[in-house]
Amino acid sequence: MGNVINLNRFRKRAEREASAKQADVNRAKFGRTKAERSAEETRADKAKAHLDQHQIDREEQP
């Protein structure tokens, strides 16, 4: 008689490997470091402040 093997072990291992591969793809596609996120936020805040400084306020005259 041959050795008894558990096919669930192999199925689960294949699922984990596929999941890990998909996670690597997602990290490369969507992932940004904390420094990149904070730099982008700082850049956006600075651009908004610059735009607000150049806004002309017009008050309605009676």
User: Does the pTM of the predicted model rise above 0.75?
Assistant: no
Residue 40 lies in a domain: yes
Residue 6 lies in a domain: no
Q: Is the dihedral of CA 20, 23, 29, 32 positive or negative?
A: negative
Structure-block tokens of residue 31: 């992932």
Residue 5 lies in a domain: no
CA distance 30 to 24: 10
Q: If you average pLDDT over residues 8-37, what whole number do you get?
A: 93
Number of domains observed in the structure of the chain = 1
Whole domain around residue 36: which residue ranges? 24-55
Assess whether pLDDT exceeds 70 at residue 61. Answer: no
Residue 11 lies in a domain: no
